[in-house]
Amino acid sequence: MRKLTADLLLPITSAPLQNAVVITDDQGKILAIDQRENHDPASLEVHRGVITPGFINAHCHLELSHMKGVAPTGTGLLPFLKTVVNHRHVPQEQIDAAIEQGDREMWEAGIQAVGDICNKADTAATKRRSPIRYYSFVEMFDFLNDARAQQTFDGYYEVFAQQSDGNGDRKSCVPHAPYTVSPTLFQLINVANSRLAPNFLEHDYSKGRQFTISIHSQETPHEDQFFMDKTGDFVEFYKAFGIPIDHFQPIGHSSMFYTLEHLDMRPNVVFVHNTMTKPFDIKAANAWAGGMKGLFWCSCPNANLHIENRLPNYRYFIENEAIVCLGTDSLTSNWQLSILEEMKTIARYQSYVPFETLRRWATLTGARALGFEEDLGSIEVGKSPGLLLLDLGEDLRLKQNTKVKRLV
């Protein structure tokens, strides 16, 4: 048994607590939350700072960790994608070592769970050994070619079969992005997930959804251009790779409307990046979801700066009561894998977002997005969320030199 106390405790689901003691068993499960005055001072582990639950990284590409520093910054999404395609094949031992290092880096940075995108099975072994809980999203794309959808699905389903789903880990099949997934492949993914998820069709939403899919969305202005009128750099992108798109017909709306037409709304849905998302996109998605609390918007601010040199307008999401969570994307598109650094970036560039909101985005909403909220995301009796120490002052303001230390 351990008794941990600090200047302040941030439970996330309730107001901050002063002089609080968190009592855990040896595995980190919270047994009680009490006050210091009720305990022998010699029995307490006393820390200076603020105790918070472990962070949730709702979007990562761990398998790309070996490409750290390869892609130049500020090029835009399409040149970045070309870099990834052309440089991801290196000796397997180099890939494996980088994956192990990335996993360790996230644990040391206080990350308790990760929503991880997989195109290959390279990360499976590391995940089975890791103290981090993983939700593996096996990402599929056929470059809008319906005729290749079944072949594409079958190939990626082999990757799905190899992913970790023991010791609390989970997995699902997901579409990559609206500009790379045909209607047929969307349907194959929807059907596969409906067969894999227990009671998927009759799920009781009041108890929280236990199945999640993710999709990259509106990361660049060229994406909406492509769907509006088939102009912009995506036309050249497909031509450069020799991929025919003569059959593609623009829809006269943003890509969000194509996604909503083909995506299954029954699981949790996480839209990722959303750099160009506008209020009408958010409202359309909210209407599509019918007011159910399974719709999440994952922001990866440092990756957005790295690739597109821009950030989402977080005011749009706050004003429309969108549920936001945070991710790091990959070391190909980021300088580190740290949710704390993502919080700092938002606080630096859009400082109207309160710290109370940021800490919720970094913990509980990410846990809910991944269906891990029964165990993670907040400091409550019965949970095992991990406990972190942040060196914040009494004003609870993030500073650029704020550091995180893992306690549990």
pLDDT of residue 200: 46
| Mean pLDDT value of segment 96-118 | 98
DSSP 8-state secondary structure symbol assigned to residue 37? G
pLDDT of residue 322: 96
Tell me the pLDDT tens digit for each residue of 349-385.
Answer: 999 999 999 999 999 999 999 999 999 999 999 999 9
With a CB cutoff of 8 Å and minimum separation 6, the contacts of 108 are 406
Residue 376 structure tokens? 């993670």
| Position 198 in a domain | yes
pLDDT band at 203 (very low <50, low <70, confident <90, very high): very low
Question: Which range (63-67, 74-78, 209-213, 321-325) has the least confidence?
Answer: 209-213
Query: Do both 307 and 175 map to the same domain?
Result: yes
| Position 230 in a domain | yes
DSSP 8-state secondary structure symbol assigned to residue 329? B
With a CB cutoff of 8 Å and minimum separation 6, the contacts of 171 are 135, 136, 137, 138, 160, 163, 164, 165
Query: Do both 103 and 45 map to the same domain?
Result: no
pTM equals 0.96
| Position 383 in a domain | no
DSSP 8-state secondary structure symbol assigned to residue 152? H
| Position 328 in a domain | yes
Residue 108 structure tokens? 């040391």
| Position 14 in a domain | yes
Query: Do both 200 and 226 map to the same domain?
Result: yes
Query: Do both 150 and 290 map to the same domain?
Result: yes
Residue 54 structure tokens? 């472990």
pLDDT of residue 202: 46
Rounded to 5 degrees, φ, ψ at 206 are -65, -20
pLDDT of residue 86: 77
Pairing mode, strands 268-273 and 212-217: parallel
Query: Do both 345 and 302 map to the same domain?
Result: yes
Tell me the pLDDT tens digit for each residue of 34-47.
Answer: 999 999 999 999 99
pLDDT of residue 197: 67
Tell me the pLDDT tens digit for each residue of 78-93.
Answer: 888 888 887 777 899 9
Query: Do both 86 and 168 map to the same domain?
Result: yes
Tell me the pLDDT tens digit for each residue of 242-292.
Answer: 999 999 999 999 999 999 999 988 889 999 999 999 999 999 999 999 867
Q: Are 370 and 326 in contact (CB under 8 A)?
A: no
Query: Do both 33 and 105 map to the same domain?
Result: no
What is the number of structural domains in the chain?
2
| Position 90 in a domain | yes
DSSP letters, 50-110, are EEEEPEEEEEE-GGGGGGTTTSPTTS-HHHHHHHHHHH----HHHHHHHHHHHHHHHHHTT
Strand segments (E) across 176-242:
212-217
Query: Do both 38 and 72 map to the same domain?
Result: no
With a CB cutoff of 8 Å and minimum separation 6, the contacts of 22 are 3, 4, 5, 9, 30, 33, 51, 379, 387
Closest CA to 296 of 314, 313, 282, 310: 282
- Cα–Cα–Cα angle for 59, 61, 63, rounded to 5 degrees: 155
Helix (H, G, I), strand (E, B) or coil at 168: coil
Kind and range of the H or E element at 5? strand 2-5
pLDDT band at 305 (very low <50, low <70, confident <90, very high): very high
pLDDT band at 306 (very low <50, low <70, confident <90, very high): very high
Tell me the pLDDT tens digit for each residue of 128-183.
Answer: 999 999 999 999 999 999 999 999 999 999 999 999 888 899 999 999 999 999 99
| Position 32 in a domain | yes
Kind and range of the H or E element at 196? helix 183-196
Q: Which of 272-310 are b and which e, b meaning 16 or more Cβ less than 10 Å from the residue's Cβ?
A: bbbbbbeeebbebbeebeeeeebbbbbbbbbbbbbbbeb
Q: Measure the CA–CA gap between 49 and 9, rounded to whole angstroms.
A: 9
Residue 163 structure tokens? 């992913």
Closest CA to 390 of 358, 364, 367: 358
| Position 382 in a domain | no
Percent share of the chain, pLDDT over 90? 84
Q: Which domain holds residue 41?
A: 2-51+395-406
pLDDT of residue 198: 54
Q: Identify the CATH number of the domain in which residue 244 sits.
A: 3.20.20.140
Query: Do both 29 and 125 map to the same domain?
Result: no
Query: Do both 34 and 137 map to the same domain?
Result: no
With a CB cutoff of 8 Å and minimum separation 6, the contacts of 252 are 228, 229
Query: Do both 44 and 100 map to the same domain?
Result: no
Query: Looking at the predicted structure, is the pLDDT value of residue 201 above 50?
Result: no
Question: Which range (57-61, 200-204, 358-362, 395-399) has the least confidence?
Answer: 200-204
pLDDT of residue 195: 81
Q: Measure the CA–CA gap between 220 and 240, rounded to whole angstroms.
A: 18
| Mean pLDDT value of segment 38-58 | 97
Query: Do both 314 and 365 map to the same domain?
Result: yes
